[in-house]
């Protein structure tokens, strides 16, 4: 025989109220409230609710009078107390204004603690946010509210409840009250869990029976299955190796595109967790003095007691070879890994025989040992990082050779052309000034003729060093060719450029150059100065203007600074003077 549901019990209670006290208006109101709270039902329950509604309507129209004995015997809270479910009502904004005594006794809240929004403190923390979100949605839209959540009992125990609420509306359709009930469904939940457990147990029994039936067949296929497992294991290992090799190849492609060591190390740290998904690891790099190593990054929560340690604290850096320490072995443990109990491996990162740092690997309980193939793979990983650093160094050296003058160490004419293009575009775009100085050593040929070409080279080197120290960090000093130099002065107007040129000219006179124990005499320089946009807005125009000013300085007696003339005047002068003096 089926037991009546809690909803059936609620409807029976409404019938009982109507049978005994149905003539009282407040009883009819209470019955209406209860039926409104039970709304949203389907099937036979909905039919029962509809019949009760008809019965309420007939009694209301009949205007039956109440018996005197019941006039003060019942009140709304007492009637709510008699309802099997926990009854509550709320204002149109969703705040609770009445909670039945059932709910007070269950939660241990006082009447004031449960009203308004205090009731949500009894909700389970995991249910609070979705419950409130659904409730506020229903308050905004006027939809019927139904939700299952866990409610804390006065002793701290949580039980499952089904809450339902419906809005009561006035003749204009506005919500004037929310009426709801809370029904304890803990037993239903428990029964559902018991049923699921029984299903699982029955499933396990069936599986056990099926296993017994297949034992004979398994015995015959044991050898074949063992072989299949070995094949699967081998295939899995090959697949993992292929995937890791693919990642390693992809990392190699990325490393080949890196332009400096920092990018190489950052890329290696990014690929390491994917190439080595099981073990932990870290990368430590040596400082410029090669005395200290600092942990640059780690993966999978690698545990290292120190972040900075001396190079001598690692055996791999001492020997230049991979160093494996098996768990429990105290023969030659690295000081920087003190306290690491699992097996670990340190591999030096070498570039052209020079140690740059180490890769540190630690095994985990999931894979407590390192096979020979794993050691070889990790060594290959470190070698690829070192090779990439060596390639970066080679590219940097080639780049330096392509843009640096080998004698003076200054930027060469090729780099000058690149920078002039960049700086002129930047100055035009930002409407800022750009100064250009062209310098030429006076009587340089006499140095070569008098003291020899070695002395001339010494003069060029010392002059280049002097110029590099005499400009700002953002200024660019280049050797234009022979004994000529060009200085690009970003953000410098004509006045500032002329002042700097004059300061360089006067200070250069004080420079003393000793070659093979002999002073080479005073060094003087002639300087031509031009400015963007006054003397042009293209690299060619600026250099031609500065060069023309330099020729003027030579003609006027050398050892001086001359500012370029405006373009129109320069053209006139160029047409009238066809012969320039030798520099």
Q: What is the pLDDT of residues 277-317, one digit of tens each?
A: 888 888 888 887 888 888 888 888 888 888 888 888 899 88
Establish whether domains 6-188 and 258-400 are of one fold: yes
Q: pLDDT: is 328 or 143 the higher one?
A: 143
145, β-bridge pairs: 165
Structure tokens that stand for 98 in this block: 């009445």
44 pLDDT band (50/70/90 cuts)?
Answer: very low
How far is residue 455's CA from residue 155's CA, in Å, rounded to a whole number? 98
Residues 87, 161: Cα–Cα separation, whole Å: 13
What is the spatial distance between Cα 140 and Cα 152, in angstroms, rounded to a whole number? 27
- The CATH T-level fold of domain 258-400 is Beta-Lactamase (3.30.450)
Q: What is the DSSP letter of 337?
A: G
- pLDDT in the model for residue 295: 86
Give the span between the Cα atoms of 148 and 163, in whole angstroms: 6
Parse the chain into domains and list their residue ranges: 6-188, 196-248, 258-400, 413-576
pLDDT band at 82 (very low <50, low <70, confident <90, very high): low
Token readout for 176 is 């004037």
Task: Give the least confident one: 221-235, 463-477, 564-578.
Answer: 564-578
- Whether this model's pTM surpasses 0.75: no
State the fold for domain 413-576. Answer: Alpha-Beta Plaits (3.30.70)
Residue 96 preceded by cis peptide, ω within 30: no
Among the listed ranges 192-201, 396-405, 408-417, which one has the minimum average pLDDT value? 396-405
Distance CA 46, CA 376 (A): 74
- ∠ CA 69-72-74, nearest 5°, is 100
pLDDT for 434-464, tens place per residue?
Answer: 999 999 988 888 777 777 888 888 888 888 8
6-188 falls under which CATH superfamily? PAS domain (3.30.450.20)
Relative to beta strand 525-532, strand 561-563 is: parallel
Q: 410: which 2 tokens?
A: 């200054």
């Amino acid at each position: 025989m089926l037991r009546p549901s809690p909803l059936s019990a609620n409807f029976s209670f409404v019938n009982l109220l109507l049978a005994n006290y149905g003539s009282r208006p407040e009883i009819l109101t209470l019955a209406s409230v209860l039926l409104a709270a039970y709304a949203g039902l389907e099937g036979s329950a909905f039919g029962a609710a509809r019949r009760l509604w008809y019965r309420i309507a007939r009694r209301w129209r009949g205007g039956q009078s109440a018996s005197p004995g019941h006039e003060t015997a019942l009140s709304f809270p007492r009637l709510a107390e008699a309802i099997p479910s926990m009854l509550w009502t709320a204002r149109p904004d969703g705040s609770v204004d009445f909670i039945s005594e059932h709910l007070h006794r269950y939660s241990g809240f006082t009447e004031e603690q449960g009203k308004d929004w205090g009731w949500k403190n009894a909700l389970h923390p995991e249910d609070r946010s979705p419950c409130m979100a659904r409730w506020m949605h229903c308050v905004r839209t006027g939809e019927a509210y139904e939700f299952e959540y866990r409610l804390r009992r006065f002793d701290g125990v949580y039980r499952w409840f089904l809450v339902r609420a419906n809005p009561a509306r006035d003749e204009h359709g506005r919500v004037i009250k929310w009426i709801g009930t809370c029904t304890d469904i803990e037993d239903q939940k428990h029964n559902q869990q018991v049923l699921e457990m029984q299903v699982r147990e029955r499933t396990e029994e069936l599986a056990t029976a099926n296993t017994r039936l297949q034992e004979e067949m398994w015995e015959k296929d044991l050898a074949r299955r063992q072989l299949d497992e070995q094949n699967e294991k081998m295939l899995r290992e090959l697949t993992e190796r292929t995937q890791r090799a693919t990642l390693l190849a992809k990392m190699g492609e990325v490393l080949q595109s890196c332009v400096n060591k920092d990018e190489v190390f950052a890329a290696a740290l990014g690929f390491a967790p994917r190439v080595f998904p099981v073990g932990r690891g870290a990368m430590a790099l040596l400082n410029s003095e090669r005395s200290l190593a600092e942990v640059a990054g780690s993966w999978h929560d690698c545990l290292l007691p120190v972040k900075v340690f001396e190079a001598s604290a690692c055996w791999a850096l001492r020997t230049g070879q991979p160093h494996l320490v098996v768990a429990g072995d105290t023969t030659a443990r690295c000081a920087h890994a003190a306290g690491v109990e699992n097996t670990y491996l340190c591999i030096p990162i070498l570039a052209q025989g020079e140690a740059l740092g180490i890769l540190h690997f630690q095994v985990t309980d999931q894979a407590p040992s390192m096979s020979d193939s794993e050691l070889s793979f990790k060594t290959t990983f470190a070698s690829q990082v070192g090779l990439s650093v060596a390639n970066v160094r080679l590219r940097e050296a080639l780049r330096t050779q392509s843009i640096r003058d080998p004698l003076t160490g200054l930027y060469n004419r090729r780099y000058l052309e690149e920078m002039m293009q960049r700086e002129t575009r930047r100055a035009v775009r930002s409407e800022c000034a750009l100064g250009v100085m062209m310098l030429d050593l006076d009587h340089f040929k006499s140095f070569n003729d008098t003291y020899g070409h070695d002395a001339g080279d010494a003069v060029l080197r010392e002059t280049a060093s002097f110029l590099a120290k005499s400009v700002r960090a953002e200024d660019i000093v280049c050797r234009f060719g022979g004994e000529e130099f060009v200085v690009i002065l970003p953000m410098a107007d004509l006045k500032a450029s002329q002042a700097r040129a004059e300061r360089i000219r006067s200070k250069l006179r004080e420079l003393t150059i000793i070659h093979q124990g002999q002073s080479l005499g005073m060094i003087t320089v002639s300087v031509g100065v031009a400015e963007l946009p006054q003397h042009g807005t293209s690299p060619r125009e600026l250099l031609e203007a500065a060069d023309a000013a330099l020729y003027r300085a030579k003609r006027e007696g050398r050892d001086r600074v001359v500012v370029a003339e405006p373009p129109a005047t320069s053209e006139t002068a160029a047409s009238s003077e066809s012969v320039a003096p030798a520099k």
